[in-house]
């Protein structure tokens, strides 16, 4: 006699694993998080924003400078509490900190179950305990065994061995248009990573050790992903990479970034296209002409110059000088009417004299950048500058940082004041965090997250503000870094 099972007799399907993400650091790291989230979701995991509701917590870390490392460690320890006193069963650490301190993380933070480096993104499935769709084993070995150690913690830092600057296997992973990805940005804007790694020898930086050698994505792959993002509702794309201006060189393309921008400008649904992280001597005439020729390509160049003193730039292994940069800036502004120019500098680099710092101050006053970031030098084992003599004290570094930012503050105030009365296109990004009475938005001169804000205090009566929609706005007030506008 055969017996048929009733529905109630069938074994209940296991609830999907809930995975929460914390992504630290730069937009390049955020894209890595989006790729890992996409892989997990495709494998059946459920993504959640609430750490307290997560079965698995993933912390994607940054290790660029000392403060970023400390933030990463503090966040790992904070998330560890959800495992020791909450619902979470697994804690996974990913990203740049893993590439640098893989063994130390596992040895000294016992709550961490697995680590995933920047070149092992597909290993997130095994690390999180989520079976891939075809149940095939991950091609990436995930380190979960713990080196012998005493699990010490000292003032919020994990104890570690001295790092010798050597990484056995440099990351080589590069996602493509077929890789699943879930945007962590609002649906109307997205970052598009066009390359990974870096070949520049800058002595203050360890990115090549953390991310591997420079490698471009295939031209067709970038275009295909951009087209897919546009079909999904994305209207603003920001191209990112350690050096976007090197795009295509390893593929045999000349002026690869200009070619890519030109092709992207032909995607009808896209409204704004910009790129970040341009290397000074890689900004070609063709690139400038391409930006000027296409309305969709924002008249915005982000070129981190790092310093203006030839002596400091030489010690940084950057090259160039303030005079050379000024000629380049003049060329850019002549080629692109209404150009918005962003840069960043490092102050307190080993051996930086007062005179060399004053060279940087004078250069800043002359160049009159629209946006500028200033970072205090951070000593990093493995970086070329670590062995240099003439270290500047932390107190003096901070003093110089504040001095340079005060110079830029005056420049920014004057340049923002000149915008009052002008009408500009504005992307509405939603209610303001400052006040329930204000909305916020960005113009083409505002890159996501890093530049100032535009506060909207006047909206047409009876109209319903729509986040992610473009409006025409008149600038009515200017402050040091922010603007106030009325929708017209």
Give pLDDT tens digits for 7-30: 344 445 578 999 999 999 999 999
What's the mean pLDDT when you consider all of the chain?
89
What is the number of residues in the chain?
488
Decide if pLDDT at 138 tops 50: no
**Nearest CA among 83, 81, 63, 82 for reference residue 72:** 63
Give CA 319 to chain center in angstroms.
25
CA distance 321 to 328: 11
pLDDT digits (tens, 9 = 90+) for 106-125: 999 999 999 999 999 999 99
Residue 148, pLDDT score: 42
136: which DSSP letter? P
CA distance 394 to 249: 39
- pLDDT band at residue 145, thresholds of 50, 70 and 90? very low
- pLDDT band at residue 133, thresholds of 50, 70 and 90? low
Is the dihedral angle over the CA atoms 182, 184, 188, 189 positive or is it negative?
Answer: negative
Give CA 283 to chain center in angstroms.
21
Is the dihedral angle over the CA atoms 459, 463, 469, 472 positive or is it negative?
Answer: negative
More confident residue, 65 or 439: 439
Residue 162, pLDDT score: 40
- pLDDT band at residue 358, thresholds of 50, 70 and 90? very high
- pLDDT band at residue 131, thresholds of 50, 70 and 90? confident
Residue 459, pLDDT score: 87
Residue 35, pLDDT score: 97
Residue 39, pLDDT score: 96
CATH 2.40.50.140 assigned to 423-487: yes
What is the dotted CATH code of the domain comprising 18-157? 3.40.50.12160
Which tokens in the block code for residue 353?
Answer: 């004299």
Decide if pLDDT at 41 tops 50: yes
CA distance 189 to 192: 10
pLDDT digits (tens, 9 = 90+) for 370-393: 999 999 999 988 899 999 999 999
pLDDT digits (tens, 9 = 90+) for 239-297: 999 999 999 999 999 999 999 999 999 999 999 999 999 999 999 999 999 999 999 99
Residue 3, pLDDT score: 33
Decide if pLDDT at 158 tops 80: no
Q: At what angle do helices 96-108 and 66-84 cross, to 10 degrees?
A: 50
Are the C-beta atoms of residues 195 and 212 closer than 8 Å to each other? Answer: no
Architecture of domain 189-417: Alpha-Beta Horseshoe (3.80)
Q: Is 430 left (phi over 0), alpha (psi -120 to 50) or beta?
A: left
SS3 of 264, please? helix
Residue 13, pLDDT score: 55
- pLDDT band at residue 435, thresholds of 50, 70 and 90? confident
CA distance 102 to 96: 10
Domain boundaries, given as residue ranges, for the chain? 18-157, 189-417, 423-487
Residue 382, pLDDT score: 87
Decide if pLDDT at 140 tops 90: no
Residue 120, pLDDT score: 92
- pLDDT band at residue 317, thresholds of 50, 70 and 90? very high
Q: Where are the beta strands (DSSP E) in 198-339?
A: 215-216, 236-240, 272-275, 300-302
SS3 of 276, please? coil
Decide if pLDDT at 78 tops 70: yes
pLDDT digits (tens, 9 = 90+) for 162-171: 434 444 467 7
CA distance 415 to 410: 9
Alpha helices by DSSP H, listed for 278-393, are: 285-293, 310-315, 322-335, 354-367
């Amino acid at each position: 006699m055969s017996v048929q099972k009733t529905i109630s007799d069938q074994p209940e399907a296991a609830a999907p694993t809930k995975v929460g993400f914390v992504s630290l650091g730069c937009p390049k790291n955020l894209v890595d998080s989006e790729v890992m989230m996409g892989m997990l979701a495709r494998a059946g995991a459920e993504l959640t924003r609430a750490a307290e509701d997560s079965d698995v917590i993933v912390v994607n870390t940054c290790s660029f400078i000392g403060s970023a490392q400390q933030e990463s460690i503090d966040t790992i320890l904070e998330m560890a509490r959800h495992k020791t006193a909450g619902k979470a069963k697994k804690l996974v650490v990913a990203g740049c900190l893993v590439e640098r301190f893989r063994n130390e993380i596992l040895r000294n933070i016992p709550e961490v179950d697995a680590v995933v480096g920047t070149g092992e993104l597909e290993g997130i499935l095994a690390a999180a305990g989520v079976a891939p769709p075809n149940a095939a084993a991950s091609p990436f070995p995930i380190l979960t065994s713990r080196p012998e150690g005493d699990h010490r913690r000292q003032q919020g830092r994990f104890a570690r061995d001295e790092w010798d600057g050597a990484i056995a296997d440099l990351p080589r992973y590069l996602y493509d248009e077929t890789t699943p990805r879930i945007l962590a940005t609002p649906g109307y804007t997205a970052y598009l990573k066009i390359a990974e790694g870096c070949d520049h020898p800058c002595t203050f930086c360890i990115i090549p050790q953390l991310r591997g050698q420079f490698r471009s994505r295939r031209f067709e792959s970038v275009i295909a992903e951009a087209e897919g993002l546009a079909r999904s509702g994305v209207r603003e794309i920001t191209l990112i990479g350690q050096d976007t201006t090197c795009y295509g060189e390893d593929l045999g393309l000349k002026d690869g970034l200009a070619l890519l921008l030109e092709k992207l400008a032909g995607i009808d649904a896209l409204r704004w296209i910009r790129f970040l992280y341009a290397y000074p001597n890689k900004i070609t005439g063709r690139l400038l002409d391409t930006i000027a020729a296409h309305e969709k390509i924002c008249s915005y160049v982000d070129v981190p110059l790092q310093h203006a003193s030839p002596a400091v730039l030489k010690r940084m292994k950057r090259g160039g000088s303030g005079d050379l940069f000024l000629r380049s800036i003049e060329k850019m502004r002549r080629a692109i009417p209404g150009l918005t120019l962003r840069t960043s500098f490092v102050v307190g680099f080993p051996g930086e004299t007062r005179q060399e710092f004053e060279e940087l101050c004078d250069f800043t006053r002359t160049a009159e950048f629209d946006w500028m970031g200033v970072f205090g030098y951070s000593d990093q084992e493995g970086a070329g500058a670590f062995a240099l003599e003439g270290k500047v004290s932390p107190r003096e570094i901070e003093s110089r940082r504040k001095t340079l930012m005060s110079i830029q503050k005056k420049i920014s105030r004057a340049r923002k004041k000149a915008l009052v009365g002008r009408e500009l296109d504005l992307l509405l990004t939603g209610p303001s965090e400052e006040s329930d009475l204000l909305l916020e938005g960005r113009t083409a001169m505002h890159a996501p997250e890093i530049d100032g804000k535009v506060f909207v205090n006047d909206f047409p009566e009876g109209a319903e503000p729509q986040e992610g929609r473009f409006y025409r706005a008149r600038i009515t007030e200017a402050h040091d870094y922010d603007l106030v506008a009325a929708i017209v």
